Amino acid sequence: MTYAIAQAAEHSGLSIDTLRYYERIGLVDPPARDAAGRRLYTDGDLAWLEFLTKLRTTGMPIRLMREYAQLRRKGEATAGRRKQILLEHRADVRRRIAELKACLEVLDFKIDNYAAIEAGLTGKTHVQEVSA
Amino acid sequence: MTYAIAQAAEHSGLSIDTLRYYERIGLVDPPARDAAGRRLYTDGDLAWLEFLTKLRTTGMPIRLMREYAQLRRKGEATAGRRKQILLEHRADVRRRIAELKACLEVLDFKIDNYAAIEAGLTGKTHVQEVSA
DNA sequence: GTAGGAGCTGGAGCGCACTCCAGGTCAAGT
DNA sequence: ACTTGACCTGGAGTGCGCTCCAGCTCCTAC
């Protein structure tokens, strides 16, 4: 089973332009072409794109994704380094989740404070002070 | 108590250039100046900067922070709209945390798979297929 | 046989959020 | 008096990750 670029775009959630861009910069291997020179993506390509979008969603910079992609191309001997990249990235993601959660608490606090203002406690100085 | 720009930078974790930039684009009110024209930040300014960095950390785009800052300047009448902005932003942050957690599971899976390869199961086709 | 639509290429352009720079002022220390 | 260093301004430059465009080739449907 193969897929035209529009289908690959739809499946991956990336734009057609982005797919070609990823190819240009070496994030994805150049796919096969049909007789007319049009790209034919395989299921394997789609799986790789799906994984790439996970990395992107979690904020991995493109140059690191590229390093990973290059290692992958070189085969199994690079598995150790690839694992290491993922381990570091996972730690990074965990840190960022923790950071976001901490910020959420501040948001909750602010929102509660606005609710307090709405509840007619506006006159209370400490509420105003905090209302930012 | 007032603070020179270098102190405000250190306290907020933003660079001096970024502080001036935030002022230019209307994210922070122009602070008072000393006789020589140097900025003097107040505790209130630092608190606002601290909150801004939370918004930034959670990915709020600058133009929305700016809208919030402008509303804040207009006083209490805008509290409703400000609360609404924060509510929407909180929902957004929660969505992104959930998304990150989902991606973490994929990372865990990949990492486990590399561990399996290391454990010498390399010959097993399904391990290789999945190793990406 | 022709109109429409998907895809192709190389390259330019964009929005965001800073970051850096030149050239200047000012105040304090030695 | 002079050096040092923090700070000032306006404006240009940067890196990232796309996104858009002109001008082209194909295939398909009518």
| Cα–Cα distance for residue pair A6/A12, rounded to 1 Å | 10
**Residue pLDDT, tens place only, B22-61:** 999 999 999 999 999 999 999 999 999 999 999 999 999 9
Taking CB atoms and an 8 Å limit, are B79 and A131 in contact across chains?
yes
pLDDT mean over B59-67: 97
| Cα–Cα distance for residue pair A6/A4, rounded to 1 Å | 5
pLDDT mean over A2-30: 97
**Residue pLDDT, tens place only, A59-90:** 999 999 999 999 999 999 999 999 999 999 99
Biggest alpha carbon distance in chain A?
76
Confidence band (pLDDT; 50, 70, 90) for A58?
very high
pLDDT at position B77, please? 92
Q: What is the ipTM of this complex?
A: 0.89
pLDDT at position B59, please? 97
pLDDT at position A125, please? 52
pLDDT at position A131, please? 47
Mean pLDDT across chain A, nearest whole number? 92
- The residue type at B73: R
Cβ(B93)–Cβ(B58) below 8 Å: yes
pLDDT at position A120, please? 74
pLDDT at A126 over 80: no
**B2 - beta bridge partners?**
B42
Q: Which domains does chain B have, with CATH numbers?
A: 2-74 (1.10.1660.10)
Task: Using CB atoms, pick whichever of B101, B117, B132 lies closest to residue A97.
Answer: B101
Q: What stretch of H or E contains B57?
A: helix B43-57
Question: What are the residues of chain B with a beta carbon less than 8 Å away from any beta carbon of chain A?
Answer: 47-48, 51, 54, 57-58, 72, 76, 79-80, 82-83, 86-87, 89-90, 93-94, 96-97, 99-101, 103-104, 106-108, 110-111, 114-115, 117-118, 122, 128, 131-132
| B4 CB closer than 7 A to any strand D atom | yes
pLDDT at B129 over 70: no
